[in-house]
Amino acid sequence: MWLGPDEALHQRHDRLVEWVRQQYALGSTIYSACSGAIMLAETGLLDGCHATSHWGYQDLFRKAYSKVHFDPAPNLTYADAAGRIVTAGGTTSWHDLALHIISRHASPGEALRIAKVYLLKWHGEGDLPYASLVRPVPHGDSVISKCENWLQGHFRDIEAIVHVTALADIPERTLKRRFKAATGNSLISYLQNLRVEEAKRLLESSDLPLDEISAEAGYGDTSFFRRVFKRLTGLTSSHYRRLFQPIAGS
């Protein structure tokens, strides 16, 4: 299904939604790729379960399908211990899903053979390296909007939290609570996301050594930067550079 990042399926495709419920009740195993997880979320079969899809849908899941434990990082997620509902991430994660299905219902050896014949790639790095860490979230809190705009221009500031709190002119605890409510991110997470996005840009477009990239992104401690970068992207900085930096002469 082609769906926008804020397009839920409420009261749409009701007959299909009910049919999927019936098939699960009859013992079928259900697989989805990318936006198909939204259809599964609409059935209620994912309520209280873990699921994945394209990273662009994480705000939709948070707002419209909050009972689903959505995680955009893995390529494949099992909703239940028996593996009767399996969701795959975005775009080429269908490769991983196809190989999983072949391995499960035929054999691992056959899955490997198919992967070689059709040049299918297992995306062991997951979806995180491809995800944009900073996405605009519509909200009506003008104070928080002012803080977001300031942070986007001053994320390198070592005292950014102190200065943005002064700008907001409200207690820090209140600012953090309102920021989380408006954006879905904690204040420190938003700041780290901005810094890591800058580091990603520099890794993709320059040959600067890592300590200089760390400093340019707002981190004085390179080892701390390495840990944050790995946590948010799923890759080491060197792996990220190899994956995304254009090949010379291309």
Domain identity same for 113 and 184: no
Scanning 108-207, the segments in alpha helix (DSSP H) are: 108-117, 142-154, 160-168, 172-183, 187-205
Confidence of residue 248 (pLDDT cuts 50, 70, 90): very low
**Which tens digit of pLDDT belongs to each residue from 31-65?**
999 999 999 999 999 999 999 999 889 999 999 99
How far apart CA 86 and CA 80 sit, in angstroms, is: 8
Domain closes at, from 109, 130, 151: 130
Q: How many domains does the chain have?
A: 2
Which DSSP state fits 85?
E
Structural domain of 181: 142-244
The verdict on residue 250 lying in a domain is no
Co-location of 47 and 88 in the same domain: yes
Q: What whole-number percentage of the chain has pLDDT above 90?
A: 57
Nearest CA among 168, 204, 200 for reference residue 187 = 168
Which CATH number goes with the domain that contains 170?
1.10.10.60
44-51's contacts with Cβ under 8 Å and 24+ in sequence apart are 45/20, 45/21, 45/79, 45/85, 46/79, 46/85, 46/87, 49/79, 49/80, 49/85, 50/77, 50/78, 50/79, 51/77, 51/79, 51/87
Task: Decide which of 130, 161, 176 is a domain's last residue.
Answer: 130
pTM over 0.85: no
Query: What is the tens place of the pLDDT at every residue in 112-148?
Result: 788 878 887 766 656 666 666 777 777 889 999 999 9
